[in-house]
Structure 1
Amino acid sequence: MDSAFTLNGFSDWKHAVEMGKGLNKHAASKEHMLCATMWKDKGMRIATGREVSTLVNAEQLQRNRYYLSSIVDVIEFLAVNHLPFRGDNDSYASTSDDGCGLFLSMFEYTLRKDPVLATIAQSIPHNARYTSHEIQNELLDIMSTMVTEHIVTEVGESFYTIKVDGTRDPTGRENISIVVRFINESYEPTERLLTIATADQGDAATLTDTIVEELSKAGLSPRRIISQVYDGASLMSGKHGGVQKRLQEKLQRDIPYVHCFNHQLHLVVSHALAAEQAVLDFFSTCNILYKFCRRPTVAILYKGERLKRLLEQRWTGHFGTVSVVLRSFDDLVTLLKEIDSQRTYGADVRVEPAGLLRTMSEPSFRFIAEMVHSILSYLDPPNTMLQ
């Protein structure tokens, strides 16, 4: 038997020809001879200590690693702090230009603060700068994989609960967050965001398949799911066609579904607040205030605390809004008076602050703010606990 065919998994010459997908005998033989030669060459390099990594000067190898580790540090910092990477320009030569993005700007700043790195960068070949967006994305993928592997190691052979929620992005795709809850080695309940998957469709069947595929791809066995937690939407909680039912059918066993307790609390509070028209009017005014203060010409004058965006199904947004309004009440009134009195602003701009100022000047506005804040503050501890 020819060793060339053995190394490549073929038992004889006929098998090599059959697996060659149309290659003639000469081509198949030549191809496997080449592979065998390369394999033998690799074995010889390993045996003689002449691998590629050892052929590079040790000092140069250390410099290259120092250079690349600096790039990794910048990428890690931007990723952890949820900051954008790129700007209008995306080339190493644009590091000192405006619009080059945070990644190149931070890397250029690092070069100025680290003389050793600056010296190393001068000797790096232009075709190996490792600053392109392809390299950035590849390093982010590696970091993401490392985090996922750590989570899977944490879970180990434990049974776990899945908590899933989804939302559509501006392109119409469904973004699905998958959280696993388990007992760690210290017997403490632990939650980890495993992944955020995307799906072109948002129906129950697609979501169910996506959940199972993502768990399997990460290295967790779907067979170890002991319960499932979603919101109360029929798409997720439906007893006949929802995700909770389809997941049980797919895995062919009972998996109890639990309506998220924190979500139930939010729904109860939001519905209770909506039962009183005066409270609804109060939050409508807060929402108008939020949008008004976000105008560029207004934001530059506002000295108070930034207002919170109202979330229809999350009373924590209402609580945050009321808290800021009470703490920055005087600053908001001053802002509205200033814009209302200045003729430099057009009538269309001055009309809105005039109405807001009149509403905020009414005693009922401050009273409702204090009352709602007092009630919601009692619910903040259970909200934190249920999270």
Structure 2
Amino acid sequence: MATPTPTPSDATPTHIYNVATPTHTPSATPTATSSGTATPIATPTATSSGTPTPSDTSEFDLASLERDPGLRRPIWKYPPNVRDDIRREYIRLGPCQPQLRRDQYPATEFGTQRRRFQASWFNTFKWLEYSVSKDATFCFPCYLFESDASSQHAFTIDGFKGWKRVNDNERCAFLVHIGTSNSPHKKAIKFYEGLKNVTRHIDKVINCQSLEEVKKNRLHLRATIEGVRYLSLQACALRGHDESSTSRNRGNLIEIVKTFGRLSPDISNVVLENAPKNATYTSPKVQKDILHIFASKVRNKIRNEIGDSNFCILVDEALDASQKEQMAIVLRFFDVYGVIRERFFDIVNVLDTTSLTLKKELSDVLARNNLSNQNMRGQGYDGASNMRGAFNGLRALFLGDCSYAYYVHCFAHRLQLALVGATEKQDYVWEFFSMLANVVNIVSGSSKRLSKL
């Protein structure tokens, strides 16, 4: 079979970083001869000071390393400062072991017999490589760690193709190459395993550290989440007046997280003072983010309860302690079992209490949760004109969207108005409630009087 001859561009790959390396002329580029041997590569040239000249600098591309063992450069021909990078890349690629059909391996005549390479040898000798261009075998570890002083090149440069000597029992050429415990092959195997394990060890350490950091961060964040969950369930304040490390009471959330830390050393090691300064997960912003996530999950649960059913809205607005107008929204609906449910759905800060503003904010809340105004079957408000106005009130605006959204005046408000009206018309009723209020105030004003009840 004709042996292919590599061109200079095939034999000398291009690399992406500059290093000092020997300058090769086209005539010195290794070429495969008809006998299967390679002509030597020119030795490096340097100035009298030993520093490589500018012409000695070339580029190497690790992604374009020659894979065929018969065509690649000897490892000791590479500059010393890049040899380990070359070795690591070859280790990553692994030995060159082309899996061909039996008849695709060329046959060689040995007297009256014709023998050829056997792919099954790869399973027995893991270090074995095969060159298609030379029809010869090579040793992968010996190539990687061969020195320029070595005189044995059969399995590194020239290649071995004496197939008759492979299955010769104890005199098998591959076993002879392996040799004793101090043989060059065994030493190359040790260097090979060492470099391979170092690479794997570094990757493993980095991976373990990353997983450990993820585990710690999750435990840290979970402590904060569980603290916020408990305090919100009990309707308790999260923040304290003084949350500094010297405070004796740093607020409910931080004190709960400290309690978690006392119960578990694992939590104690990752929270508060032991946490990174830029990731304590106890800032007001983090607390609000967690509360918003909880609120979103609750709204999604309520939305799933409603499904495609019709619903009613109950709305009221009032000033909070910070003098901001807040609008509370409650949804009333039938669940899948036919049971009436009333769920507090959202609270919205509104700029004013005009009917148009309230209508816009209500519609936005319903739209964000995929609830259509067309499915509204009732409205419940107080008796304020902006709410129950027949022409420009909130009820009239929603009736314009859906004629079935009937308005119902709040029964509690109507009862309160009825009581006030009754007491204004009947003097003895007014006197009764006034006297009752005085009695309650007198009794509750003293613990001794209260204890007598």
One fold, TM greater than 0.5? yes
Q: Which has the larger radius of gyration?
A: 2
Aligned pairs for 1:81-230 (under 5 A) are: 81-91=234-244, 93-94=245-246, 97-121=247-271, 124-230=275-381
What is the percentage of aligned positions where both structures have the same residue?
Answer: 25
* In structure 2, distance between residues paired with 1:240 and 1:260: 19
2:387 corresponds to 1:236: yes
Give the RMSD, CA atoms, in angstroms.
Answer: 2.9
Q: Paired residue for 2:411?
A: 261
Task: Name the amino acid aligned to 1:115.
Answer: P
Aligned pairs for 1:4-19 (under 5 A) are: none
TM-score by length of 2: 0.49
TM-score by length of 1: 0.57
The secondary structure found in structure 2 opposite 1:62 is: helix
* In structure 2, distance between residues paired with 1:90 and 1:272: 53
Q: Paired residue for 1:374?
A: none
TM-superposed deviation, 1:189: 0.9
Could you list the runs of 5+ residues in structure 1 that have no partner in the other structure? 1-49, 305-327, 332-387
Q: Paired residue for 1:47?
A: none
Distance 1:181 1:200, change over 3 A: same
TM-superposed deviation, 1:66: 2.0
Q: Paired residue for 1:67?
A: 220
Distance 1:72 1:286, change over 3 A: farther
- Structure 1 residue aligned with 2:399, among 235, 248, 253? 248
Distance 1:287 1:98, change over 3 A: farther
Distance 1:172 1:68, change over 3 A: closer
TM-superposed deviation, 1:127: 1.7
* In structure 1, distance between residues paired with 2:395 and 2:440: 36
* In structure 1, distance between residues paired with 2:440 and 2:319: 23
Q: Paired residue for 1:310?
A: none
Q: Paired residue for 1:368?
A: none
Distance 1:116 1:248, change over 3 A: same
Q: For the Cα contact (< 8 Å) 1:90–1:133, is it kept in 2?
A: no
The secondary structure found in structure 2 opposite 1:65 is: helix
* In structure 2, distance between residues paired with 1:138 and 1:209: 25
Q: For the Cα contact (< 8 Å) 2:329–2:347, is it kept in 1?
A: yes
Matched positions, count: 245
* In structure 1, distance between residues paired with 2:254 and 2:352: 36
* In structure 2, distance between residues paired with 1:252 and 1:183: 19
Q: For the Cα contact (< 8 Å) 2:378–2:405, is it kept in 1?
A: yes
* In structure 2, distance between residues paired with 1:89 and 1:211: 38
Q: For the Cα contact (< 8 Å) 2:269–2:275, is it kept in 1?
A: no
Distance 1:67 1:171, change over 3 A: closer
Could you list the runs of 5+ residues in structure 2 that have no partner in the other structure? 1-202
Higher helix share: 1
TM-superposed deviation, 1:271: 4.0
* In structure 2, distance between residues paired with 1:120 and 1:99: 20
Q: For the Cα contact (< 8 Å) 2:268–2:274, is it kept in 1?
A: no
1:107-156, CA deviations, whole angstroms, 9 ceiling, x for partnerless residues?
12221222331134376322211111111111111111111111111111
Task: Name the amino acid aligned to 1:159.
Answer: N
TM-superposed deviation, 1:248: 2.0
Q: For the Cα contact (< 8 Å) 1:172–1:200, is it kept in 2?
A: no
Q: Paired residue for 2:94?
A: none
Q: Paired residue for 1:58?
A: 211
Task: Name the amino acid aligned to 1:101.
Answer: G
Distance 1:194 1:239, change over 3 A: same
* In structure 1, distance between residues paired with 2:448 and 2:223: 38
Distance 1:156 1:120, change over 3 A: same
TM-superposed deviation, 1:206: 1.4
* In structure 2, distance between residues paired with 1:152 and 1:87: 34
- Structure 1 residue aligned with 2:431, among 278, 281, 287? 278
TM-superposed deviation, 1:260: 2.4
TM-superposed deviation, 1:235: 2.3
TM-superposed deviation, 1:199: 0.7
Q: Paired residue for 1:5?
A: none
* In structure 1, distance between residues paired with 2:341 and 2:321: 32
Q: For the Cα contact (< 8 Å) 2:374–2:402, is it kept in 1?
A: no
Distance 1:183 1:254, change over 3 A: closer
The secondary structure found in structure 2 opposite 1:140 is: helix
TM-superposed deviation, 1:98: 2.8
